[in-house]
Structure 1
Amino acid sequence: MAITEFAKKYHEKMFPGYVSEFLRTDPEFTERFDNFAFDEVINSCSLDDRTRMTAILAALLGCQGIDEFKVMLPAALNLGVTPVEAKEIVYQAAAYLGIGRVFPFLKGTNEVFAARGITLPLEGQETTTMENRLEKGIQAQVDIFGEHMREFYKSGPEESRHINRWLADNCFGDWYTRTGLDYRQREMITFCFLAAQGGCEPQLISHAAANMKMGNDKEFLIQIISQCLPFIGYPRSLNALSCVNKAAESSR
């Protein structure tokens, strides 16, 4: 079996001293997957390990890869993702995936933390109250998307206008305003949630544009897609690439 030296060394960085059972049961698969995901893909770009692992965790939430998430979370912590950052990824996912899909990841994260002796709850990251979450959420939308979002929470037909308000006070006021991750990181993980779950192309185009506004340019987003590809597959990666191209074209 010819796993490359780079793939072996990177695997050791992620999982010090761990030998996968798949080396025995599925050696051919392991050879090709590890050489691709942990050598060819990693060496295709200049992302640092922490950013790469942040994106992978978010993508695994998006594609519902709970077993792989519980494997990769310790690797992410070994490569510089902090417990607070990991928790913030899971918390923000609730707005984009719903608690029905996020619950197993919240539970799994706590299990991994307990196994590593990380005391819960972590230090609080809230910056808003129930009284000011709408105001702060609107400002977050404006900061990320532009001034046209100032009155967006009031827009739309009366019977559904409350959803636009929830987008401001809940999605942005409750989650984006938290510390632990900045706006640029939060837009990146949102991009990964949407790309990995699929079927959200209009929102993915919008958030690709928001990423670019935050400084995550087209080249960066292509690198993010590339690093997530082994974990979410080609169809959703190619769809995400198309959305990035459309967002880039519309911003010219």
Structure 2
Amino acid sequence: MKWLWGIIAVVAAVAVGVVIGFNCGGKSKMSDIKQTDPDIAAVLDNFIKNDVETRGNLSRDMRHYIVIGAHVATQSRDGLRAQINSALDDGIDPVAIKEVVYHAIPYVGLAKVYDSIVLTNEVFAERGIKLPLASQATVSSDTDARMTAGTQTQGAVIGGPDAVAARHAAALPDLAHIEDFLTQNCFGDYYSRNGLDFKTRELLTLVLLVSMGGADAQVRGHVAGNLNVGNGRDVMVDAVTQLVPYIGYPRTLNAISAINELTAN
């Protein structure tokens, strides 16, 4: 089986390398890929630049946020480095870049996102961006403050404060703390932050869940959440379209199924 894993590793390396070189209008970070793999380089260059990036009505900034989020969720370190540099070259605010990475923590998990934080700091240091950046926190560590902020933001996503209260009331006694964590931490600590607007954060949540895979129920939940905050079918389809080269067709089609299911009319 060693030969099979060797082939998989080579194919994966080539795919990642080419995608790194051709994204979001950025300059190639893998200058030799056109020489070593000209056929696939040409296919991907054409697909990303002429097919994917020309579709939809997302802003340049949002396209960068989406692709950065995809690389965080898939743990593509080299790709993430290239994407951050490309975003900075296009004038994207370092605060916004950091907030995209931070927003991944409650969904992708700190074990995976920690390296992305460190890598982002490395790129910022190389570019002369002074750290730490200005704080974007809007709540303290006080539990009540976090619960209040979280109830407001979670309610906007799932249908109002009564919907949040219903979730807490329905929780089994040994799982009540998980509902508390979800409201206080995910929605209180993260969604309440400045640096990205609320609708952008909810769209990024969908992007992160779709990109990492294995979260179909949560994808459906956040398709509904995006509709609740005003991100319509067109916005979600545009976002998923930008993900195609980076996450592949199976995860893309799963996301489209969820969008279709909830926007059939």
Query: What is residue 6 of structure 1 aligned with on the other side?
Result: none
SS class of match (2:54): helix
Query: What is residue 169 of structure 1 aligned with on the other side?
Result: 184
Residue of 88, 102, 106 corresponding to 2:99 = 88
Query: What is residue 63 of structure 2 aligned with on the other side?
Result: 52
TM-score (norm 2): 0.86
The 2-side partners of 1:119 and 1:73 are apart by 15
TM-score (norm 1): 0.90
The 1-side partners of 2:208 and 2:223 are apart by 12
1:193 matched to 2:205: no
Q: What is the identity, as a one-letter code, of the residue corresponding to 1:137?
A: G
Query: What is residue 158 of structure 1 aligned with on the other side?
Result: 173
C-alpha contact 1:13 1:78 (8 A) present in aligned 2? no
Superposed displacement of residue 182, structure 1: 1.2
Gaps of 5+ in 2: 1-21
Residue of 88, 92, 100 corresponding to 2:111 = 100
Identical columns (%): 34
Gaps of 5+ in 1: 1-9
Cα–Cα, structure 1 residues 11 and 96, in superposed 2: closer, same or farther, change >3 Å? closer
Q: How does 1:15-94 map to 2 (within 5 A)?
A: 15=27, 20-94=31-105
Superposed displacement of residue 64, structure 1: 1.9
Superposed displacement of residue 107, structure 1: 0.8
The 2-side partners of 1:162 and 1:13 are apart by 45
Residue of 143, 148, 154 corresponding to 1:141 = 154
Superposed displacement of residue 60, structure 1: 1.4
Query: Deviation per CA, 1:8-41, whole angstroms, max 9, x where unpaired?
Result: xx869522x8672212211111111111011211
C-alpha contact 1:154 1:165 (8 A) present in aligned 2? no
Q: What is the identity, as a one-letter code, of the residue corresponding to 1:211?
A: N
Query: What is residue 206 of structure 1 aligned with on the other side?
Result: 221
C-alpha contact 1:140 1:172 (8 A) present in aligned 2? yes
Residue of 4, 14, 21 corresponding to 2:26 = 14
Superposed displacement of residue 81, structure 1: 2.5
C-alpha contact 2:158 2:228 (8 A) present in aligned 1? yes
Q: What is the identity, as a one-letter code, of the residue corresponding to 2:53?
A: I
Q: What is the identity, as a one-letter code, of the residue corresponding to 1:244?
A: I
Q: How does 1:232-251 map to 2 (within 5 A)?
A: 232-249=247-264
Q: What is the identity, as a one-letter code, of the residue corresponding to 1:25?
A: T
> What is the total number of aligned residue pairs between the two structures?
240
The 2-side partners of 1:172 and 1:12 are apart by 30
Superposed displacement of residue 78, structure 1: 2.1
C-alpha contact 2:213 2:251 (8 A) present in aligned 1? yes
Which is further off, 69-78 or 148-157? 148-157
Q: What is the identity, as a one-letter code, of the residue corresponding to 1:201?
A: D
Query: What is residue 226 of structure 1 aligned with on the other side?
Result: 241
Q: What is the identity, as a one-letter code, of the residue corresponding to 2:76?
A: G
Which is further off, 135-144 or 146-155? 146-155
